[in-house]
Structure 1
Amino acid sequence: MLRRFLSHSNLRSLHTALSPSRPRFAAPLLTRHVTAQSGASSVRKRVEDVVPIATGHEREEIQASLEGRDILEINHPEGPFGTKEAPAIVKSYFDRRIVGCPGGEGEDEHDVVWFWLENGKPHECPVCSQYFELKVVGPGGDPYGHGDHH
């Protein structure tokens, strides 16, 4: 029976069935995803067109992506080593934020030191002496909303 299955005609029909020329099921999904993110179309895409059930932060991310913005760029700051004259700028939506300092590069690296960075108050890392400064890019205020009067 195994010989019959492995006969030349069966192998040829199996090869034809698995040939890449046949359309795959995932192709329409990939095409829809790629065209939804392309900015070349004249039709303005909405979040509902891409992911109809997106809510909350996921919805904000998708909306920003459709507009060509990256709202998460503030979560991975990069730049030169911060000095007192030119501190490393960390962006935040609020007036304060928790920041981790990993030190410099190579031998200057150290364990991550976590601290609160507040608007208008530059902070110096106690291990590597790197300076940080907060830049508010959002509404400001307390990140926990304790200053709000209900």
Structure 2
Amino acid sequence: MLSSALRRTVGSARLLVAKGVVRQPAARAFFVLGPRLGEVNTSMIGPGAKPGTIPDDIEQATGIERAELLAKLEGKELFDIDGLKITAMGTKKNPIMVKSVDTNRYVGCSGFPVDSHETIWLSVEKSHEFDRCPECGQVFKLDFVGTEDKGHGHHH
């Protein structure tokens, strides 16, 4: 039922465009997130494709995706994708510290010793004294290494 309603809507929109009642825009707009902190870096915007060609990933990528692809071209990893090296059970007195530039971060706990239970995802937050895995009791604490300035200039 929904699909037939959508077909009728799309079909009538095409008819209006064909009759010249509604003009189709020359270019389709899209949204690109700018960097969260600091000024716009033009290296974060790809050059685009040459006329008549199809862009590859590097030419059309923007923002964090572009930064990640450029880092891979240099043989580097932009993001730390290795798991935490847990050698002891996290406790309230000695929690597992999780570095983050944001005020919260998701952590997958697989228990201690490692893989002693299924992975449980926790939100570790700066505002919490600590966060605990409900399965094994492992304690995590956020080590906030970011900046308080969100970079959006509202100063509120």
Please state which band the TM-score falls in when normalised by the shorter chain. 0.3 to 0.5
Rg larger in 1 or in 2? Answer: 1
TM-score of the two chains, using structure 1 as the length reference = 0.46
TM-score of the two chains, using structure 2 as the length reference = 0.45
Higher helix share: 1
